A and B are shown apart, each in its own frame.
Chain A
């Protein structure tokens, strides 16, 4: 891995960033998702339904990923940075899931 990177050296650091237009589009998408989330919160039948929490989790995950990929330009940057971020993020996710299991906040029911 290091060898390949040695070869292109400095180019890797200065990948082309997206244009201002892309940033505005991303901003609009983020706004739409935020409006969607808040709107969903005000529909009692939706809040009561089983899809509400998964839907919110997915929406916020999408927002999270969009900001990280475009605004933090991980999509365009050196793969090292992707590794430095996703590695700890995965450990963090595993930790929170483990803790929620241990404190009985989530449970899996084995088929009877």
Chain B
């Protein structure tokens, strides 16, 4: 079972009532698995902020909620996160952040452990699938015991690695008693928030004190004159590299058990802190005046491995790669053969337009042979960055277009379009509508007319929405993604018009199309 499946299982066994999230590698499969349990009410939310707010509502009504997202998704959800910390919970609230060291499928390599400290929320970090399941259950208990949301952090190698575990039984949590108003606790106007902040500080102090005896923070004895403090997937690398060395394994990376760490450090002449990405644990330990080694020998970038840890501690450099006498061409990912995004990229490339781009499969249009995307920053930024370019250039925008996918448009492109209309901007916005959230493995979204459970639902009407924002009917067009001439004509006319306009390029994702064909064939047979 993968770490993601195990988290879904853990939430199920913990009696979770609500699951919400937005797809993002490596987090997506958590909700895809959770939605299969009929006892759990799940949704793909419009974005991560919405998902977390849904989770807060569920928690306030007394229903346990699991909210899932990738690391950059937590940036979107950071606003509710920081205040959720103040209001606490009634039913447990667990927020999964799936980080991506090495950036296998992400635009940055941020270390979301910092959010735990910044938002004053405890954070657990499992090392394999079994812990992923167990820690999810423990996270709900901690959440309710200490009246706090809990962050559960995975990395790609936890979410997408598989290891064995034995399934348990679902234990139904209490039936939610419903939302009972409690203004001083739930209404965070300054008057109330000022009283809640000290509660939060006391809570974190208490958790730090109790962390000394929490069973998932433990020491494994061993021999040798050095010890290692570690957590998460790094623990497995450490054990592999040094099976007999004393190890302090942290199941909770925030807050830290200070006495336990002090005592461990006092026993060994050298203590190494092994953690991927930032010196999050190391800095806290050093702030207590203890001497440990960490980022002076271990990299701050990318994933670790047993080999890397052995070499760093052994003072050796990592052996060079074998030099090949055959020159291997790189094999970067590319748009699928038959992908509906291909033609629009050929057109944009030929027309030499500058493309303010966005996040999704279609980011691959930035690579050869198209090289037709010139910015890619965060979800929804295509539309708004194009507006900034226009403003800086005194209103001239005819060579820059904004381009994003349907799911991204729903996620945070809609606010950008409204902003453009409200502020009288002029650029062309192109939505590549392939009927799904493709990059993360085909999930429905508010434009595809289907819920997470495959039920039919409303699909946002672009034309009506554009008109509601004040766009003229002739400035909203839809073209077939496979009709090159139509696409070219529409883009040239719409950029020449100098008015804010919306072009929908419609063509079903080729993977989804094949799946639908296969499903039809199966039904037929």
A and B bound? no
